[in-house]
Amino acid sequence: MSAAAPFREARIDLGALAANLAVLRRLVAPSLVMGVVKADGYGHGAELVARALSEAGAEWLGVADIEEGLALRRAGIVTPMLAWLHGPDADFAPAVAAGIDLGISSLDQLERAAAASGGLGRAMVHLKVDSGLSRNGIAPAERGAVLARAAALQAGGRIHVRGIFSHLSNTSAADDDRQREVFDQAVAEAHAAGLSPELRHLAATQAAVERPGLRFELVRIGIGLYGLPAAESMDAAAIGLRPVMQLSAAVAAVRRVPAGTRVSYGYTHRTEHETTLALIPLGYADGVPRAASGRGMVAINGRSCPVVGRIAMDQFVVDVGEGRVAVGDRAVLWGDPADAVPSAQSWAAAAGTIGYEIVTRVGPRVPRVAR
Ligand SMILES: *Cc1c(COP(=O)(O)O)cnc(C)c1O
């Protein structure tokens, strides 16, 4: 008898990650690549992926929170890094001391970055311009004041404006072009104010892949590195990207049941024939979307088995039909379709969401295991 599969496991294929980086670097060259590893590396394990991306030649790493960046620095990762989302009380001094560049979205943040400069180093900042999304980023009404103050602080040696950036809505090519115009205008205003940021960056995965004219000096790539498409229009496999995460569990129980057997909370499923049911010990606490109840598919021994009944917090049931299945067999929820397993995209479709949310929500009970 072969050994039972691991109880719960997210295999992280670091070879696929490095290959995806190589594909994307070739595609966007000579632009530099920032590997985005926020939200625990999109659920893949931030330290694991940040180290692998650094070793594979990513020039930059990007995180949302300063604390995410500091954790990577504590793990010994020295790659240039940018953090761009800050709470009202965020302490910028540890970031400056750790050599983490700060994305700046307001005059208040700019002043606090300058105040954090000093004995431990000079704050390196990237001004984040709101070019249309109306969320994080310097509001249009504040832009003039921020640029003037940044120029004064830089002239006084208190900060260095290394970059200027913005983020796209990915609504349409025309909308992205309109945002690019606003961005170009902001860059021109920065130059007029006496600043000359060496890095302009606007594109995330979708624009980096589809819009060569929007790449500038640097692109910030998240989802593409993890081998998933940024939009339905994008065929990740066609450009050579492979999914990095494979989520699996060991079948925890198997039982033969008669027709008319009802399954899981609310009895939303009733078997039509005699069949074999298998219990999968993963649930919504582990990131398996409850909205995919009765819709998701799982691969067991090369056979595609439908989820039947409701997905619970810790477990759900699949119908194996007349297929061969034993306790301890590996059940794969999502991974690389080239391995004859379902994709995170198919689970996203089953749950009415996007692949980003599927991988990012894999919970803390699931060990991430590098392959
Ligand atoms: C998350 C994020 C990215 C990465 O986006 P992908 O679509 O995953 O490539 C890039 N830039 C910013 C500002 C982000 O918040």
CATH number, position 333:
2.40.37.10
Domain that holds residue 360: 245-370
Q: Indicate whether 57 and 116 sit together in one domain.
A: yes
Is residue 167 a part of any domain in this protein? Answer: yes
Q: What is the pLDDT of residue 3?
A: 85
Q: Indicate whether 44 and 135 sit together in one domain.
A: yes
Q: Check if 267 is active-site.
A: no
Could you give the number of structural domains in the chain? 2
> Counting atoms of ligand 1 from 1, which one is nearest the CA of 206?
7
Q: Indicate whether 165 and 270 sit together in one domain.
A: no
* Whether residue 230 has its Cβ less than 6 Å from ligand 1: yes
Q: Indicate whether 76 and 210 sit together in one domain.
A: yes
Structural domain ending residue among the three candidates 169, 197, 226: 226
Give me ligand 1 centre to Cα 137, in Å. 14
Closest CA to 197 of 143, 160, 158, 146: 160
Structural domain ending residue among the three candidates 226, 258, 288: 226
Q: Indicate whether 61 and 196 sit together in one domain.
A: yes
Q: Indicate whether 189 and 323 sit together in one domain.
A: no
Closest CA to 143 of 111, 175, 106, 174: 106
Is residue 129 a part of any domain in this protein? Answer: yes
Give the other-Cβ count within 10 Å of 121's Cβ.
Answer: 14
Is residue 3 a part of any domain in this protein? Answer: no
Is residue 16 a part of any domain in this protein? Answer: no
Torsions phi, psi for 240 (to 5 deg): 95, 15
Distance separating alpha carbons of residues 142 and 60, to the nearest angstrom = 28
Q: Indicate whether 92 and 193 sit together in one domain.
A: yes
Q: What is the pLDDT of residue 17?
A: 98
Q: Check if 265 is active-site.
A: yes
For the whole model, what pTM was predicted?
0.97
Is residue 141 a part of any domain in this protein? Answer: yes
Q: Residue 79: helix, strand or coil by DSSP?
A: coil
Q: Indicate whether 175 and 250 sit together in one domain.
A: no
User: What is the identity of the amino acid at 57?
Assistant: G
Q: What is the pLDDT of residue 316?
A: 98
Distance separating alpha carbons of residues 310 and 317, to the nearest angstrom = 8
Is residue 340 a part of any domain in this protein? Answer: yes
Structural domain ending residue among the three candidates 166, 199, 226: 226
Q: What is the pLDDT of residue 84?
A: 98
Q: Indicate whether 147 and 217 sit together in one domain.
A: yes
Is residue 121 a part of any domain in this protein? Answer: yes
Q: Indicate whether 216 and 250 sit together in one domain.
A: no
CATH of residue 166's domain is: 3.20.20.10
Closest CA to 241 of 47, 54, 17: 17
* Whether residue 229 has its Cβ less than 6 Å from ligand 1: no
> Counting atoms of ligand 1 from 1, which one is nearest the CA of 225?
9
Distance separating alpha carbons of residues 11 and 140, to the nearest angstrom = 44
Torsions phi, psi for 214 (to 5 deg): -110, 15
* Whether residue 137 has its Cβ less than 6 Å from ligand 1: no
Q: Indicate whether 205 and 263 sit together in one domain.
A: no
Output the tens digit of pLDDT for each of the chain's 371 residues: 468 999 999 999 999 999 999 999 999 999 999 999 999 999 999 999 999 999 999 999 999 999 999 999 999 999 999 999 999 999 999 999 999 999 999 999 999 999 999 866 799 999 999 999 999 999 999 999 999 999 999 999 999 999 999 999 999 999 999 999 999 999 999 999 999 999 999 999 999 999 999 999 999 999 999 999 999 889 999 999 999 999 999 999 999 999 999 999 999 999 999 999 999 999 999 999 999 999 999 999 999 999 999 999 999 999 999 999 999 999 999 999 999 999 999 999 999 999 999 999 999 999 999 99
53 burial level (CB within 10 Å; 0-12, 13-18, 19+): buried
Q: Indicate whether 323 and 355 sit together in one domain.
A: yes
